[in-house]
Structure 1
Amino acid sequence: MTAKLAEMTTLDAARAAERGTAVILPVGAFEQHGAGLPLATDQIRAEAVADAVAEALPDRVVIGPGVPVGVSPHHQAFAGTVSLRPTLFAAVVREYVESLAAHGWTRFLVVTGHGGNNATLGTLAQELLRDRPDLELAWAPVTAMAPDAVGSMERSPVSGHSGEAETAQMLHVAPHLVRHDLLAPGTTTPDELDPFARLARSVSHPAVALPYDRLSPSGVLGDPRRATAEDGRAILTEATDRIVAFVKEWLDT
């Protein structure tokens, strides 16, 4: 049987809920990823991980509806970016959760390809803990789930959005969407940041939200030309393995 709720009948869904499956909700963003990657990069990566987790855990998880637009106001200076207010993004995810909870599901895992969603997901989890203690909401940022694979990559001193790690993942799961001819380094060293942006990115100073064009005129942090599909496979394999291990323990508790 398919693991995707969208492909099930209502009877299939009822049986899946009765089995005590967890629901995976893949969420991403609709935002610039430099000249070489598509706007849907974060959703594509989240869905790839959700599919891999479901394949590894047949009959234990189902994949619910995704949220392809996330919290991306910091990318709004770049054409094509679409963003939801944090309150609206949280409301959409909450409606998904509570709709499915009405049919018996109690455990929900949000796999997010966009780091900008993390703060909102954390707030939502706290609200559900207060309002719906019968439900459990976990969330997993894709790239952060693979520290070893990311750490072993050859990366620029400044790397991140649209850089080596994200490009590598896209080369692995959707190489046909990568514009190899347009991959180019963005901001790669601290000296290329403007003075305030350099200060704001320091872990020893207060955090501040900055528009991404202050960090990189091209929207890229790092040098995506260094990325390989093998790097991407390693990142997504490690992320999948960590999430699978978590879900197994979660469902067995």
Structure 2
Amino acid sequence: MTSGPTSPRHSPRLAEMTTVEAADAVISSPVVILPAGAFEQHGPGMPMATDTLRAESVVDLVAAELGGRAVIGPSLPVGVSPHHLAFAGTVTLSTTTFAAVVREYVDSLYRHGWRKILVVTGHGGNNATLSTVAQDLLVTRPDLEFAWTPLTALAPEAVADMRVGEVHGHSGEAETAQMLHLAPHLVHHDRLTPGSTATADLDPLSRLSRRGHPALAVSYDRLSANGVLGDPRRATAAAGQAIVDTAVSRIVSFVKEWLDA
């Protein structure tokens, strides 16, 4: 994936290092940050790689702010997206496969000496599996510190300032705003169309699934005919920058405290 236009050019990337430089980075850059996303529909107006692009761009910005104390590892460009398979182009991993890929990335990095690994995921469908991996690693790698974080959830104030609709989320105001800020050339403005924007738009089972807990999984074609929750036409690049800046600031603060702990 290519980074967005606002991403720094000199973030330390493991992929661009030689093996000699990588060995040095274990000491100088003790945190590895892995961007994780998805390969799934994002409505008529945004690309399949939306979640991966957002994660990669945020990780670039975080690494630059950390001034070499963290290195960017390989991306996880395909995530857990079975709930989007009704829409063309979506590619998914099972929870078992995604967990195995994360563990094998971690095992490789661990072998070389890294003991702090942070996954930044742009896709909420990865969250449950990352939590499971984190719990398993407490047993299998007790001297490893494994952390993960979503993106948009780190900036609830910035999202609230957008005055989002009653129903919002996937491919809606907040995600579109971030893409307008990070990768505007990939947003088809003329195709941005609202999806489900109110509880009344949802069928009874879909309404039940949106209540929180008890949790009920439903596919996105039940939630929205076009795969969108909210009204992406209301998104602005400025709102996207506010979300991204807040997320970056909070991740950077976490990593700095983590390094000093």
TM-score bracket, shorter-length normalisation: over 0.9
Identity within the alignment, %: 66
Deviation by residue 1:146-192 (Cα, 9 ceiling, x = unmatched): 11111111211100000000000000000000000000110000000
1:61 to 67, 70, 81: 70
Aligned residues: 252
Give the drift of 1:207: 1.0
Given candidates 168, 186, 202, the residue that maps to 2:211 is 202
3-state DSSP of counterpart to 1:121:
helix
Match of 2:131 in 1: 122
Give yes or no for the alignment of 1:245 onto 2:235: no
Q: Distance in 2 between matches of 1:20 and 1:175?
A: 31
Deviation string 1:199-248 (CA, Å, 9 cap, x unpaired) is 22123x52111000000000000000000000000000000000000000
Q: Deviations over 1:9-37 (max 9, x none)?
A: 11111111022520000010000000000
Partner-residue secondary structure (3-state), 1:168 = helix
What RMSD over aligned residues (CA atoms) do the two structures have, in Å?
0.9
The alpha carbon displacement at 1:89 in A equals 0.4
Q: Does residue 181 of structure 1 match 2:219?
A: no
| Equivalent-residue separation in structure 1 for 2:190 and 2:123 (angstroms) | 25
1:35-74 superposed Cα distances (whole Å, 9 cap, x missing partner):
0000000000000110000110112100000010000000
Equivalent positions of 1:1-253 (< 5 A) are: 2-203=11-212, 206-253=214-261
Does structure 1 retain, via aligned residues, the 8 Å contact 2:11–2:60?
Answer: no
SS at match of 1:221: coil
Q: How many angstroms does 1:2 deviate by?
A: 4.9
Change (3 A) 1:15 1:76: same
Q: Secondary structure at the match of 2:93?
A: coil
Aligned residues of 1:212 and 1:219 also touching (Cα < 8 A): yes
Distance (whole Å) between structure 1 residues aligned to residue 209 and residue 148 of structure 2: 26
| Contact kept? 1:70, 1:83, Cα under 8 Å | yes
Q: Take 2:37 and 2:158, find their aligned partners in 1: how far apart are those partners? A: 21
Counterpart code for 2:64: E
- Partners in 1 of 2:190 and 2:151 — Cα distance? 26
**Partners of 1:184 and 1:225 within 8 A in 2:** yes
SS at structure 1 position matched to 2:147: strand
Matched-pair contact (CA < 8 Å) for 2:29–2:68: no
Give distance in 2, aligned partners of 1:177 and 1:18: 38
How far apart are the structure 2 equivalents of 1:100 and 1:207?
Answer: 34
Q: Kindly indicate whether the alpha-carbon contact (under 8 Å) linking 1:170 and 1:178 is maintained by their aligned counterparts in 2.
A: yes
1:6 maps to amino acid: A
Within 1, Cα distance between the matches of 2:11 and 2:135? 32
- Partner SS, residue 35 of structure 2: strand
How far apart in 2 are the matches of 1:228 and 1:30?
Answer: 23
Where in structure 1 do 4 or more consecutive aligned residues deviate above 3 Å? none
Q: Partner of 2:6 in structure 1?
A: none
- C-alpha distance in 1 between matches for 2:205 and 2:169: 18
Q: Is 1:2–1:8's contact at 8 Å kept on the other side of the alignment? A: no
Structure 2 residue runs of 5 or longer lacking an equivalent are 1-9
Counterpart-to-counterpart distance in 1, 2:214 and 2:66: 41
Matched-pair contact (CA < 8 Å) for 1:157–1:188: yes
Which secondary structure does the structure 2 equivalent of 1:24 belong to?
strand
